[in-house]
Every structure is written in C-alpha cells, then in structure tokens.
Amino acid sequence: MIKPHGATKLRPLYVACDEQRRSLESEAQGLPSLKISSASAANAVMLGAGYFTPLSGFMDQRDLASVAATMHTADGLFWPVPVINLVQQCNYRAGDRIALRDPNIDGNPVLAVLDIAAVEELSDKDLELATRSIYGTLDTNHPGVKMFSSQGRVLVSGPIMVLNYSYFACAYPATFRTAEQIRADISERGWNRVVAFQTRNPMHRAHEELCKIAQATVDADGILIHMLLGQLKPGDIPADVRDAAIRTMVDLYFPANSVIVAGYGFDMLYAGPREAVLHAVFRQNAGCTHLIVGRDHAGVGDYYGAFDAQTIFRDQVPDGALDIQIFEADHTAYSRKLDRVVMMRDVPDHEPQDFVLLSGTRVREMLSAGEALPPEFARPEVAQILMQHYQGWQAGS
C-alpha cells in the first residue's frame, strides 16, 4: 500500500490506549483550559485521525510563515496549508500544559491536551501575508478569508494529544472514518490502486460518471468517495443529507464492493489550489493512490481559475513531494448527442446546447418547487432526497 506522507507509518495523535486516555481525561479536568475555534478543533480532529501525518501538533509562527510562503515547514517537510491554533487571547505561556475545549459541543468538553511550545502574537503584516498566500486574496467576502481573519491573532502552538473526535464520530457513526480505518478497509478488500473523490456536495450523474471514468482510466481497484463532514458556508447542503444521497447513489448505481463511502472531520477552507494539495496529502495518508481534481476544486465564487487546482500540482508541487497521483478531470456533463455523460474536453464537436447543464441556483429552485430534475442530470432517487431537504428547509425558513 502507498506509504503515508513524510513517514513510514501513520502517526495519529488520538490516544488509543484506553487506560492512558482515561488517565489523561482525568488530568485534563484539573488543567487550565482554552476554548478554541471550530477551525482549530477540526485541525485537532484531523491530527488525531492520522490524516495530518506526520505532524505532531499545531505549527508555530516560523512554520506558519514558511508553509504560507513556500509550502514547506521550516524543517523542510512539504505541507500546503498551515495547521494552526489561532485564538483571540491566551494567558498561558510556553511550557504550560492546557486542555483544549471543543467549541462545537454544548458544555465545551475537552477535545485534546496541548503542551504549549510557544505563544506568539501575529502582526497585521503576518496575517496578511499568510492570508494572501493561502487564499490568494484578502477579500473578507471570501468565506475562508472571513473565517481565517475572525479567529484572532494569538498563535498557540505545540504537540497535542487528542482525546476524542468531537461531534463527528457520534453524529456520523456510519460515515466518519479515520485514515487508519480507511487503510484497514482498503487492505481487507485487497485493493492496491484506489482513486479518491472529494466532495462537499451531493453527487449528480456527472460526479457519478466522473468517478467511474477515473477508475477505468487509472485501472483502480476501487473508489473512495470521501465527504467533508465539518462546517460549510451558508446555503451548502448539510452532511446528513449529502450522506444519504451519496449512499443511495452508490447502492443503486455502482457495482457491489467497488466503493468505500466515508467522511472526515474538517471544516471547508474554500482555499482552491492550496486546499486541493492538502486534499491530496491526506488522501495519501488514507491509502489512496490517486485523487480526482476537477474544475474549480475546493473553490468558491470567482476567486480562482477553473483549473488552477490542477496547475498547482504541475507548477508548484516539487517532484517527489507526494506519492499520490492526480487525475485531472474536465467539466463533466450529459451529452444529448452521445446519450451519455462525457468530459467536455473529449467532445470538441459539441455546442453548449448539446449538454444537459443546470446552474446550482436553478437546481435549488426546481427542488424547492417540487419539480423533478432531468434524469440525465440526477438520479431520481437522489433527486428525491434533495427535494425533501429543500422543501423542508423552505417550510421551516
């Protein structure tokens, strides 16, 4: 199986030994504590689950600046997006052991224990350089920039020990999986080549066929459909609805035992190219050999070019930095001429009217009104689940 990034084996920071974890949980109740942001909590969950192997915790200012500027830590590890813990204020100092409290669960239970290596205050210039490098813009209308700039400017870094997976394991018990669990599933199935599909949205016919095209093209043994379970921008489809829609599609329209459906506990960054590279890093850690990178991967609005998330792998990711390979996908749609889903680059003789294309706005309007989506665009069983969501949301709004 493909090796993890920067290590010979996974390095999950979750305390797996029951006795050790209970002891640490008891100790944490008496420790000084710090309520962290949702973004920091998601970073802790990803560190705990092994997706951020080989990191040992939250990065300091030196690593933040180095990763933002060069996509390498100060020690030379290739890493595309800083994994940090920004807070509004911190009354602790280097050498202190503190409990990190979860902002996403009532009562703010302890999520992890942090041994503080440094407490550093970032300047306006530090924040601007990091923001522009990661997101490519300083525009606070960008949801990722808005989130990043609202966390605070005090950077609290150091190694962590993770005690639980926040709300993800309880809210999505059939779907949330650690990198270690996915690797075990791949191994049990006897798969060697696995292509991953990243999604924060339900999957329509074009997504379904894109997975099948990629699998056939790279001769993969199976597909990992890997959905984000964390926070999204307003208007995006909730994870439980996406989960139901995707599982229905897989059960009805994919060959048996050809797909692993799983989710990971992270908040969406909407960082476009940089986030696409991060997606590749943690899919390699999950045991995948290929990642589908499509049009406007991890993007939002018009902040990134349609295929910037592909060119970054060619232009900015050094040779040998990653073992996972990228499957570059074009926009995919149903061809009326050919009566099947195609990638648009493969049919240069087509005109726009030859495709079945619907905007996201039009899809939402149709579903809210109870109108059936064209079967060339969405499987009817999937459309029904989405329709129920939109009509319920509209009734409750």
pLDDT tens digits, residue range 67-86? 999 999 999 999 999 999 99
Classify residue 4: in a domain, yes or no.
no
- The per-residue pLDDT for range 135-193, each reduced to its tens digit, is 999 999 999 999 999 999 999 999 999 999 999 999 999 999 999 999 999 999 999 99
3-state helix, strand, coil in the chain (%, to 5): 40, 20, 45
Does 9 reside within a domain? no
Residue reference for tokens 């061809």: 335
Total domains present in the chain: 2
Residues 236, 290: one domain? yes
Cβ atoms 243, 227 nearer than 8 A: yes
- With tokens 């329709």, the residue in question is 387
Q: Are residues 42 and 116 in the same domain?
A: yes
Can you tell me the distance from the alpha carbon of 235 to that of 324, in angstroms, rounded to the nearest whole number?
32
CA dihedral 180, 52, 91, 131 (to 10 degrees): -150
Question: What is the band of 394 on the pLDDT scale with cuts at 50, 70, 90?
Answer: low
Q: How far apart are CA 81 and CA 10, in angstroms?
A: 19
Q: Which residues are catalytic?
A: 200-201
Shared domain check, 158 and 29: yes
Regarding whether 111 and 26 lie in a shared domain, the answer is yes
- Maximum pairwise Cα distance, the chain: 69
- pLDDT, the chain, mean: 94
Q: Is residue 146 part of a domain?
A: yes
Q: What CATH number does the domain containing 140 carry? A: 3.10.400.10
209 with 146, same domain: the answer is: no
User: From residue 214, how far is each of 34, 211, 306, 343, 380 by CA, in Å?
Assistant: 44, 5, 19, 11, 23
Asked whether residue 207 falls in the same domain as residue 154, the answer is: no
Domain of residue 148 covers: 18-166
Q: Are residues 123 and 206 in the same domain?
A: no
Neighbour count for residue 220 (Cβ, 10 Å): 22
- Determine the Cα–Cα distance for residues 239 and 226; give it in Å rounded to an integer: 12
| One domain, residues 115 and 186 | no
Cα 234 from Cα 364, distance rounded (Å): 14
The SS3 of residue 36 is: coil
Alpha helices by DSSP H, 225-301: 239-253, 273-285
Within this chain, do residues 335 and 218 fall inside the same structural domain, yes or no? yes
What is the pTM assigned to this prediction?
A: 0.94
CA-based radius of gyration for the chain: 21
Instruction: List the single range of 163-167, 233-237, 386-390 with lowest mean pLDDT.
Output: 233-237
